[in-house]
Amino acid sequence: MPRSASCAIAAAAAIALGVGAAGATTSMVQAMPKPPAGAELGRLAKPPAYSSFASQRLYFVMPDRYANGDPSNDRGGASGLRSVTGYDPSDIGWFHGGDLKGLTGTCTDKRTGLARLADLGFTGVWVTPAVVQRAVQGDSAAYHGYWGRDFTSVDPHLGTNDDFDAFADCAHGLGLKVYLDVVVNHTADVILLAGGTDFRGPDEVPYRDCRGKPFSADRYAGGKRFPCLSDRYQPRQALVLPQDRALKRPAWLNQVTRYHNRGDIDFGSCSPVCFEQGDFFGLDDLFTEQPFVVNGLAQVFGDWVRRYKLDGFRVDTAKHVDRAFFRSWVPKIRAAARAAGVNDFEIFGEVAVTDAAELSTFVRDRALPNVIDFPLQDSLVRFAGGSAGPRGISGRLADDDYFRGPSGIAPTPATFLGNHDTGRAALLIKQQTGSHGIELERRVLLGHSLLYLLRGAPVVYYGDEVGMIGRGGDKAARQDLFPTKVTEWQTEERVGGPPIGTGSSFEIDLATHPVASHLRELGRLRGAHPALAIGSSVVRSANEGLLVVSRFDRADRREYLVAFNASEEQQPVTVTTATPSSRWTQLLGADVKLVETDSSGRLSFVVPSLDAVLLRADAQLSRPGAVRATLRAAADRFTNLKVVSATVASRDPVSVTFAARRPGAKSWSLLAVDDGAPYRVFLDPRRYKRGERVSLVAVVRASDGTVSTSPVLSLQVRK
């Protein structure tokens, strides 16, 4: 993105302003409004808020590969060759027989099923799409769930709607939330395009209404009206075989005018329009700019929420729908959830980019509520694997500020190490430096410590708990937990144990397996100590192979310190904490002996190699009183946004609320709440008029509840 010009500020001397006490009226510019006071100050000075999703620990599972609870549905009610049934348990690209009954289990036996997941410390289960699939396409089957053709029912390979009822009821009875993978970007590949599948953009072939008049779909996206359409006027002539003309449900999905029909995405040279309107690997791309399509997708997926009382959606290929889609679709889904009694329904989307600033645009500009944290995943596996230092992690934590907004809720993305596309955690960590044996085991444990002890909702991919490694991504990362008939999987290396052979992963003792037992302990710690889930984060050190982060329990006014050492040698560390003159209790890691901070908060100890150490201060945070700070404004170096920063002169873990007052406004509007340094808010010049001056203020809340405000800063956001 282009680098913007530097900010225009009321006066050169106003670039840096000192913070006064609450209610201070000092101003360097006569026309500036006074800082907020009284009830308005109280409204802005509330402590940071965190979503319920921050306290979740998710197990991500592909039901076809978990457990076979009903062999009678292995072929999905069909018979004959695998090209008809989709079933071939000896081939990695076909259905293997796992189903909802197998995933549910008895609901009491901790060796299998959902009770096993609850026993491992998970609080939620995320399942791949359960809708009816086009069982076979090309040279593989739809065991993964992403080739939906009937969005109203459960795929017969997985069971019945009643089986999903039983699954959801069991999960909720065990205290597990249920997150369903949904696809709103495309359906199964049913439409044939005349003349080839190369993408034809609007500049080459514009859309035409039913009268043949050209129009731009972008003009109507997110609105309530749309031009009439005809099969006759399509970018590419759309054809459907006679036997497929009623294949999809709801019935409107069979209308070819509900699709873009422009050809396939070319991932090597695609434009933004191509990414949004092209067919994803040939799958029929829904024309989501149409309000009819938005409403139809809200109705069909809202029905799943209403029937099964689902707790959230993971949205597949969220990067590829039009820019206005989520702003229209999300409120309808949340309304359905509230009607079903689910008031904290979570929606997190798959946007596979590793640049945090770019990823944030899907939240800031497109109204996608939450995302999967691909940038952090990239940094975690590199650090845990030993190929990179910790600065990628510390930088990503700081980049949370790009995601902060007027809700005041701290960003809590879904975090992960490996998945069904990228490959398993152990493989990705192994690939960094070629580690194996006990070193690989220790690096995998370190990776999961990072996942659980840093901010975010950790997601563990099924099979990682028993040390599966695999040999690649996609099909090669979707092993069976039940006895597999795939020969190559029988001999694959595993972390913490031998190859599985013809045995079952359910026979592995989770109490003694290094990965499973570590996950259970991490889950226990995260559940017992809220700071590890909803605590703010301050990076104390990020050098070489060592990362040290403080987490804070604001309710208990307590500091935690977690140190991660990715090097093969023990490392001494000295950091300054926010808790002076306190002993610290060790909660995790090899013994580091007695540790105590001095009167300045300095703490020194040795972190064992390839390990994580978690400490909790015995003493509460000191009471800092009024906190002083400075405000600065500048152009962001990496985006076209303006950044306003508050530099706080205190080691106390304060929170900073940024508020704005536009010309003519009678009150201050909340821009964002930042719960950890660096304290920043980003302003988008496109949302302001040219020459408009905006008044800005920072409200600083100390850990003891003391509140102070900055003098007001006048800023011309857009020249």
In 3-state terms, what secondary structure has residue 141?
strand
DSSP helix, strand, coil percent of the chain (3-state; round to 5): 30, 25, 45
Q: Which of 155, 264, 316, 553 is catalytic?
A: 316
- Whether 316 is a known active-site residue: answer yes
Per the CB < 8 A criterion, the answer to whether 142 and 135 are in contact is yes
- The angle at the Cα of 64, spanning 267 to 128, to the nearest 5 degrees, equals 50
Q: Which of 163, 350, 465, 559 is catalytic?
A: 350
CA 240 to chain centre: 37
Written as six digits, the tokens of 511 are 């109490």
Tally Cβ neighbours within 10 Å of residue 512: 10
With helix as H, strand as E and coil as C, how does 393-442 read?
HHHHHHHHHHHCCCCCECCCCEEECCECCCECHHHHHHHHHCCCHHHHHH
φ/ψ (deg, to 5) at 443: -70, -35
Q: Which residues of 658-675 are buried (b: 16+ CB within 10 A; e: fewer)?
A: bbbbeeeeeebebbbbbb
- The Cα-based distances of 538 to 398, 423, 491, 542, 614 in angstroms read 9, 30, 44, 11, 14
Per the CB < 8 A criterion, the answer to whether 387 and 432 are in contact is yes
578 by Cβ neighbours in 10 Å (0-12 / 13-18 / 19+) ranks as buried
Kindly state the helix (H) or strand (E) to which residue 9 belongs, with its residue range.
strand 8-9
Question: For residue 124, what are the β-bridge partners?
Answer: 58, 177
- Whether 591 is a known active-site residue: answer no
Q: Catalytic positions, please?
A: 316, 350
